[in-house]
């Protein structure tokens, strides 16, 4: 089987709006409206939302001048806005059939229900569900051409080591590596410092030499350079910690939607660095203000899920020589 990298062509974008906690404290609605405005020219959008919250979401979008012309409301909602915790990981089998890897996230109380939702999503989108039997989280895997990174957090010993070997057997053409999460980041998610933006090309957060963050980033960078991958460093921002907030703002938590890049922004001068990198690769860059949602340890990638294009023919049309960098 072959994984489908997230920079390949996509046909749809999923978002999930839940007012309590996610919107009331961290303004997810505003960020989702910005994402909709940026993504609407590229793809159809499906918003997972309960009927009683539609009016609230419409009001948020109207206040921001965002039209919902290409947005479908789906009432089969998991009531969990951070899709990167439980949504499927996409692949193609040897016959070109589209497959979605599902798993249970043991860090969430309703992990089994979220896995069931993930399988329903796959059926709706024409994918064959593959229940891996693993305890896992979506953002703990990143793939780019020949390299697959897995967060070492989930693969320490025992049954999970067997799951690691199962993945290696199922995807024999890849180099698999266990790498640490970003030091200081409580999520252990790899998208908090790594972003595959094009074939063999990455955006990676950079921290001052000798810091715990720099040490945690180094293993992945070493592996990428050993495989001839290109690394573009962007500023690693300072940790935010107060009361019940403990988060690591970053520029790696972005999303590629065909020729558009949704890029985290914090209204800082450093924002322009990652924007210029994506622009140099021919993307239309759309900054998404993550100043509030990052306080809940989320970014654009955490709250979005792109669905790959239908045909295997599309998968090969986006390659490095077409990017323009």
Query: What percent of the chain has a predicted confidence (pLDDT) above 70?
Result: 95
What is d(CA 176, CA 168) in angstroms, rounded to the nearest whole number? 7
Residue 153 has pLDDT above 60, yes or no: yes
User: Residue 315: pLDDT above 50?
Assistant: no
Q: What is the pLDDT of residues 225-267, one digit of tens each?
A: 999 999 999 999 999 999 999 999 999 999 999 999 999 999 9
* Residue 314, pLDDT above cutoff 80: no
CA distances from 275 to 13, 40, 133, 203, 263 (A): 21, 20, 39, 11, 7
Question: Which whole number is the average pLDDT over 76-81?
Answer: 97
| pLDDT at res. 311 | 60
For residues 177-199, give the mean pLDDT.
97
Lowest mean pLDDT among 119-123, 171-175, 249-253, 321-325: 321-325
Whether the per-residue pLDDT at 303 is higher than 70: the answer is yes
| Residue-averaged pLDDT of the chain | 94
Taken as a whole, the chain contains a residue count of 325
Average pLDDT rounded to a whole number, residues 198-211: 98
Beta 2-3 vs 240-242: how paired, if at all? unpaired
Average pLDDT over residues 288-301: 98
| Res 31 pLDDT > 50 | yes
Q: What pLDDT is recorded for position 313?
A: 45
Q: Lowest-confidence range among 157-161, 244-248, 274-278?
A: 157-161
Distance (Å, rounded) from C-alpha 40 to C-alpha 70? 6
Residue 114: pLDDT band (50, 70, 90) is very high
Considering the domain delimited by 2-310, tell me its CATH architecture: 5-stranded Propeller (3.75)
Question: Per-residue confidence at 302, pLDDT binned at 50, 70, 90?
Answer: very high
Q: How does residue 317 score in pLDDT terms, banded at 50, 70 and 90?
A: very low
Helix ranges (H only) for 40-158 are 54-63, 111-124
Burial of 308 (0-12, 13-18, 19+ CB in 10 A): buried
- What's the pLDDT score for residue 310? 79
Q: Which residues of 73-99 are buried (b: 16+ CB within 10 A; e: fewer)?
A: beeebbbbbbbbbbbbbbbbeeeeebb
Residue 27 has pLDDT above 50, yes or no: yes
Q: Residue 181's pLDDT band (boundaries 50, 70, 90)?
A: very high
Whether this model's pTM surpasses 0.75: yes
């Amino acid at each position: 089987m072959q994984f489908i990298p997230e920079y390949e062509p996509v046909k749809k974008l999923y978002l999930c709006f839940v007012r309590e906690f996610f919107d009331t404290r961290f303004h997810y609605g505003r960020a989702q409206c910005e994402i909709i405005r940026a993504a609407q020219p590229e793809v159809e959008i499906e918003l997972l939302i309960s009927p009683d919250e539609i009016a609230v979401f419409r009001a948020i979008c109207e206040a921001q001048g965002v039209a919902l012309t290409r947005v479908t409301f789906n009432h089969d909602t998991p009531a969990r806005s951070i899709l990167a915790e439980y949504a499927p990981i996409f692949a193609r089998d040897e016959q070109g059939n589209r497959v979605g890897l599902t798993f249970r996230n043991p860090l969430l109380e309703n992990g089994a229900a979220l896995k069931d939702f993930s399988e329903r999503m796959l059926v709706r989108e024409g994918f064959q569900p593959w229940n891996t039997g693993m305890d896992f989280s979506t953002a703990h895997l990143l793939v780019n051409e020949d390299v697959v990174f897995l967060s070492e957090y989930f693969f320490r010993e025992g049954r999970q080591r067997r799951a690691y070997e199962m993945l290696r057997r199922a995807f024999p053409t890849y180099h698999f590596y266990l790498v640490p999460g970003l030091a200081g980041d409580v999520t252990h998610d790899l998208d908090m410092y790594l972003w595959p933006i094009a074939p063999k090309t990455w955006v990676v957060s950079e921290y001052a030499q000798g810091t715990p963050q720099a040490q945690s980033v180094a293993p992945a960078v070493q592996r990428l350079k050993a495989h001839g991958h290109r690394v573009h460093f962007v500023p690693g921002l300072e940790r935010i910690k107060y009361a019940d907030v403990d988060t690591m703002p970053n520029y790696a938590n972005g999303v590629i939607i065909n020729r558009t890049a949704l890029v985290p922004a914090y209204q800082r001068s450093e924002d322009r660095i990652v924007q210029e990198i994506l622009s140099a690769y021919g993307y239309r860059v759309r900054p998404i203000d993550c100043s509030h949602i990052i306080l809940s340890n989320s970014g654009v990638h955490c709250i979005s899920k792109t669905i790959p294009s239908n045909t295997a023919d599309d998968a090969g049309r986006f390659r490095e020589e077409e990017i323009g960098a």
